[in-house]
Structure formats: C-alpha cells, structure tokens
Amino acid sequence: FGRRSECLLLKGNDIIWSVKGRKKDKYKVPKPPKGLNILEADNNELLSAILNGENISGLTKSFVNRIRDEGKELLEHFVERKFEPTVFDDILSPFSLGYGRKFSTMNDAVIQYFSSLEEKDLLEEKRKEILKEIGREIKRFESVIEDFSSVKDPDDYRLKGEALLTHIREIKKGMKEIKLNYLDIEFSIPLDVKLSPEGNAKNYFRLYKKAKKKLELAKKGKNKIQKDLEQLRKKRDRILQSEDVEKLLREFDKVKVKKTRENLH
C-alpha cells in the first residue's frame, strides 16, 4: 500500500465506507493500464517492446531498462515467461532469467532480494564512513608534507651569525636591527635588544643548529610520509572496489596513522 492507497466498502457501484472518510459517491473503475499486456503478448512482441523501450503493462520503465541492459541472452529467457522466481544482481523477476539465484516461491525471492538490498546499503554506509575517515587522514598527511616542505633553510641563520661576528664592532646593544654586507650578500638582521652583540651572534648559531636538525628530520619524515600517503591512497582504491563488508573492515584496520607532525617541533 502506497501513500495514495485506499480501502473502500462498496455496495454495487456505491461507496458506503472509506478508510479516508470519503463521502458516498459513485465508484470509478480505474482505467486499464497502458501498454503491451505482458500476459497476452507473444514472445516476439514482448521482446520487441522491451528492446524499443515501449510501455509494458505490469513492468516499470526502470525494470525494462535494467533487463535490456543485461543483453539479449537474458531477455530471451525472460520473454519465455517461465515462472521461476529469480534474483540476479539488483533484478527481482518472477520469470527465469537464465542467470542468478532461483527460488521455489516468489515470497522467498522477495525476502532474498530485500535482504540483499539491505546488505548493499550496509556496505555503502560502511564504505562512506571508512572513506570519510581515510579522506581526513590523507588531508592530514598532505598537511604534514607541506609542513616538512616549509622548514626554513638553516644556512640563513648561519650566515647571519657569521655576519654579526664579522661586524661585531658595528653592533651596539639595544639595536633592534642592523643591515650588513657579508660575502657580497646584503642582510637585514633582526636583533634581540636584551642580548649583547656576541649574544645575538650566538643566538643565530643556536637557531642554525636547531633548524639543521629539523631539516634532517624533515627530509627523513617527508620520504616516509609520502610512502605512507601512497599506501593510504592504494587502500582507499581497494575499499572503493570492495564488495565484501568484512574485507572492507579488515582493510580499514590496516590503516595506521602516526602523529608525524610532532617531529617538526
């Protein structure tokens, strides 16, 4: 029963009771469905109607299009109209299709058909959930790689430290910045007003050592993360193709993500 369904109690052609509470009026017999009668047409007529996409009484357009897409061999079985309830992929048919799982009763076929649909819905729901999680991890990996790529060149700190030592007498405590030429390179060097000229030079060498170590870690980490990212993308592709819920879950359990961004600090 659909949302427009109705239950009527008739006396002759008069409606004497209605579930929807209609007033008494004449019962109008529904117009006969348009299209070829599937029970009266011969095999060739039915086959031609399906191939041409014509209206067929008792069959929906989507069903006709679906069985036509499966090819001539399946259609030839169907138009024979041998009663043999069959479930094939997403097709539920009262007639033999030559393929699929056969049932002794239509009731059993219907139960199997909707159970299969429910299982597919579960698979798609789980697939979407897993892909969403993997998508987040891929973005995080890409962000980590970007962080690795943005690690500053340590030589900039070293050169500034050397420039300060070379021109140490030109620097006065309390200066916020100084412009120096070192190795034919013009440097604009920010200074810590709380530190002495020597202290500022030492600070740049300290930053150099820290940045150098960070760069070494970044190079190693970037290579590893890129490999992990590639593996994650391959797992995503396998999950997209998986037709088995349990296999889907096993594949997801293999996805291990580590907090590599910590190596940058």
Tokens of 137: 């991890």
Residue 147 to residues 19, 202, 217: CA-CA distances in angstroms?
68, 27, 12
Residue 155 to residues 161, 162, 181, 210, 212: CA-CA distances in angstroms?
10, 10, 16, 11, 8
Q: Are 184 and 255 within one domain?
A: yes
Q: Are 137 and 206 within one domain?
A: yes
- 238 vs 264 pLDDT, higher one: 238
Q: Are 73 and 188 within one domain?
A: no
Least confident span in 5-9, 147-151, 171-175, 226-230: 5-9
Least confident span in 14-23, 30-39, 94-103: 14-23
Calculate mean pLDDT across residues 165-184: 94
Q: Are 230 and 166 within one domain?
A: yes
pLDDT score, position 262 = 47
For residue 13, tell me if it sits in a domain. Answer: yes
Calculate mean pLDDT across residues 179-208: 95
Range of the domain at 191: 123-264
For residue 107, tell me if it sits in a domain. Answer: no
In angstroms, what is the C-alpha Rg of the chain? 38
pLDDT grade for 34, boundaries at 50, 70 and 90: confident
pLDDT tens digit sequence for 99-121: 889 999 999 999 999 998 888 88
Q: Are 154 and 162 in contact (CB under 8 A)?
A: no
Q: Are 75 and 166 within one domain?
A: no
pLDDT grade for 59, boundaries at 50, 70 and 90: confident
pLDDT score, position 38 = 84
Q: How many domains does the chain have?
A: 3
DSSP for residue 169: G
Q: Are 157 and 206 within one domain?
A: yes
For residue 49, tell me if it sits in a domain. Answer: yes
Q: Are 194 and 254 within one domain?
A: yes
For residue 108, tell me if it sits in a domain. Answer: no
pLDDT grade for 239, boundaries at 50, 70 and 90: confident
For residue 168, tell me if it sits in a domain. Answer: yes
DSSP for residue 18: E
Q: What is the DSSP string of 38-99?
A: TTTS-HHHHHHHHHTT--EET--HHHHHHHHHT-HHHHHHHHHT-EEEEEETTEEEEE--SS
pLDDT score, position 204 = 96
Q: Are 141 and 154 in contact (CB under 8 A)?
A: no
- Judged against a pLDDT cut of 80, whether residue 249 lies above it is answered with no
Query: Within its chain, how far is the Cα of 256 from the centroid?
Result: 19
- 87 vs 147 pLDDT, higher one: 87
Calculate mean pLDDT across residues 130-148: 83
CA-closest candidate to residue 17, choices 5, 27, 9: 9
Q: Are 10 and 76 within one domain?
A: no
Q: Are 128 and 241 within one domain?
A: yes
- 165 vs 122 pLDDT, higher one: 165
d(CA 148, CA 223): 10
Q: Are 85 and 128 within one domain?
A: no
For residue 115, tell me if it sits in a domain. Answer: no
- 24 vs 143 pLDDT, higher one: 143
pLDDT score, position 172 = 92
Q: Are 87 and 100 in contact (CB under 8 A)?
A: yes
pLDDT score, position 178 = 95
For residue 111, tell me if it sits in a domain. Answer: no
For residue 97, tell me if it sits in a domain. Answer: yes
Does pTM surpass 0.75? no
Chosen domain end from 102, 133, 153: 102
Q: Are 220 and 198 within one domain?
A: yes
- Report the chain's mean pLDDT, rounded to a whole number: 82
Give percent above pLDDT 70 in the chain: 80
- Judged against a pLDDT cut of 80, whether residue 32 lies above it is answered with no
Q: Are 136 and 41 within one domain?
A: no
- 177 vs 21 pLDDT, higher one: 177
